[in-house]
Amino acid sequence: MVLSNAQKAELHKSILGYLKKNGFEESFQVFKKAAGNPEVEAKHETMLETKWRSIVRLQKKIFQLESANRQLTEDLQSVGKGKKLDASMALPREPQKHTLTGHRAPITAVVFHPVYNVVASASEDASVKIWDYESGKFERSLQGHQDAVQDVAFNQSGTLLASCSADLSIKIWNFETYECTKTLNGHDHNVSSVCFVPSGDFVVSASRDKNIKLWDIGSGYCVRTFTGHDAWARRVMVSPDGVLIASASMDQTVRTWNLKTGESVRICRDHDHVVETLCFSNAKADQYITKMLAEEKTGTSAGTDVAATASTTKKDKDGKDGKDEKKEDIGGAFLISGSRDRTIKIWQVNTGVCVKTLQGHDNWVRQVLIHPSGRFIVSCGDDKTIRVWDLSARGRNISKIENAHKSFVSSIDWNKSFPLLASGAMDNTVQLWECR
């Protein structure tokens, strides 16, 4: 493309304006004389920088469109040729399907309903909002907390929703009537995490008071308190078999506890900063991680040893003899944690040993989860990215959505029945990403 004389004149003035504004006086005088001494106005001083920023934005958009086009081309080539799309490769892709707006403060948690086509979001505006994830439309708001809602969780059937808050309480909501049926009080500080025990009769919570509590939903009473952390317990999760709970803390440790006895089982120390998040592996992830570790120790017997850790006995868990209980049937042989030290770590549950460290985030890691296929770990963080790590490729970071939000990405969740990922952020929005 050849510039017209008028365009050339404007370009010359823009260059002169830039040189003048940035103090390149000698270059300014030489170029001005060579260009025929044009008159430079104030608007020309910022014109070159403005044009440059526009080019950078357009270039980034072109890269995104090219990436989307390559993916669509691959999908198109697989249609009508007897080749099915591999569901295990369904990963979040740009652009986002929906942007959900309505919260007046940062999003702290997002979670999909296990049955209905809705997603719940918790926010520092003290509300929980329910959205239709197919249409992206707001459905209703659950009001009752007096301070920031820090976390939300559904039970397995989706009949109950638990929420916890900086108002020191946990609330149980009937998701058929949207009424609060129980308010659980007992923590002495901000309640930062809540989750259901697989049976659905109990919930577990973690708090800034350093304690973890087990609550009977029926009575509303705290039936057990787990003590041992030296600082804020940031997150708590229950193992798939309901035998262990795991917690992440500002004391830089990950701990596991026997749910029945309340005893501390393992203390995992390897992070160099606050541990923000954690999750248990699923059955397929156990296989991928075991294989990855065996490959990394080629030529040794470690592969067999690692495989052995995928099954435990009842004696290992609660001190009683019993038949072997194979954890690979339901998963949970490994823990994945994310930290403010910018790393993701994989731990053997039975030994408390860190077996793998994933590096790539440029800021705090806020949440980690396992892809339903077990092949991938997905994470988000304060670098505004959503990242995918391939366990079949020794944990390599194979995909990244840059600037997924305008601010820190605080939470993500997979929809296990529909190829969709939800993300919440400090920009007060929830984004829905199609996976393909």
If asked whether residues 59 and 128 sit together in one domain, one would say no
Last residue of a domain, one of 49, 77, 105: 77
If asked whether residues 93 and 21 sit together in one domain, one would say no
If asked whether residues 64 and 168 sit together in one domain, one would say no
Could you please report the per-residue DSSP string of 296-364?
Answer: HTTTSSHHHHHHHTTEEEHHHHHS----EEEGGGT--SEEEEEETTSEEEEEETTT--EEEEEE--SS-
- Tens digit of each residue's pLDDT (9 = 90 or more) over 80-104: 544 444 556 789 999 999 999 999 9
Domain CATH code at residue 402: 2.130.10.10
Q: Which residue has the higher pLDDT, 68 or 265?
A: 265
Rg of the chain (C-alpha set): 26
pLDDT band at 3 (very low <50, low <70, confident <90, very high): confident
pLDDT band at 319 (very low <50, low <70, confident <90, very high): very low
If asked whether residues 51 and 122 sit together in one domain, one would say no
Residue numbers of the domain that contains 171: 87-434
If asked whether residues 53 and 134 sit together in one domain, one would say no
Residue 82 resides in a domain: no
What's the CA gap between 100 and 126, in Å, rounded? 17
If asked whether residues 50 and 130 sit together in one domain, one would say no
Weakest mean pLDDT among 56-60, 392-396, 409-413:
56-60
Last residue of a domain, one of 77, 99, 115: 77
Residue 288 resides in a domain: yes
pLDDT band at 317 (very low <50, low <70, confident <90, very high): very low
Residue 292 resides in a domain: yes
Residue 65 has what pLDDT?
Answer: 76
Rounded mean pLDDT, 203-209: 97
Residue 44 has what pLDDT?
Answer: 87
Residue 131: count of CB within 10 angstroms of its CB: 23
Q: Could you give the percent of the chain with pLDDT greater than 90?
A: 70
Which positions ≥6 away from 8 have C-beta within 8 Å? none
If asked whether residues 60 and 117 sit together in one domain, one would say no
Give the count of domains, the chain. 2
CB-based contact 189:169 (threshold 8 Å): no
Query: Which two tokens mark 314?
Result: 């009842």
If asked whether residues 306 and 212 sit together in one domain, one would say yes
- Tens digit of each residue's pLDDT (9 = 90 or more) over 277-297: 999 999 999 999 999 999 998
Which positions ≥6 away from 189 have C-beta within 8 Å? 168, 207, 208, 209, 232
Residue 276: count of CB within 10 angstroms of its CB: 25
Residue 123 resides in a domain: yes
If asked whether residues 121 and 64 sit together in one domain, one would say no
3-state secondary structure of 258: strand
- Tens digit of each residue's pLDDT (9 = 90 or more) over 143-164: 999 999 999 999 999 999 999 9
Rounded mean pLDDT, 26-38: 89
Residue 2 has what pLDDT?
Answer: 73
Residue 285 resides in a domain: yes
pLDDT reading at 356 higher than 60: yes
CB-based contact 395:292 (threshold 8 Å): yes
pLDDT band at 276 (very low <50, low <70, confident <90, very high): very high
Give the global pTM: 0.76
Which positions ≥6 away from 350 have C-beta within 8 Å? 309, 312, 316, 333
Host H or E run for residue 9: helix 5-21
If asked whether residues 95 and 60 sit together in one domain, one would say no
Residue 11 has what pLDDT?
Answer: 86
Last residue of a domain, one of 44, 77, 110: 77
Residue 71 has what pLDDT?
Answer: 65
Residue 109 resides in a domain: yes
Residue 54 has what pLDDT?
Answer: 79
Domain CATH code at residue 64: 1.20.960.30
If asked whether residues 281 and 146 sit together in one domain, one would say yes
Residue 82 has what pLDDT?
Answer: 45
If asked whether residues 55 and 108 sit together in one domain, one would say no
pLDDT band at 73 (very low <50, low <70, confident <90, very high): confident
Per-residue buried b or exposed e for 215-235, using 16+ beta carbons within 10 Å of the residue's own CB: bebeeeebebebebbeebbbb
What's the CA gap between 407 and 386, in Å, rounded? 12
Average pLDDT, the chain: 88
Rounded mean pLDDT, 222-237: 97
CB-based contact 153:236 (threshold 8 Å): no
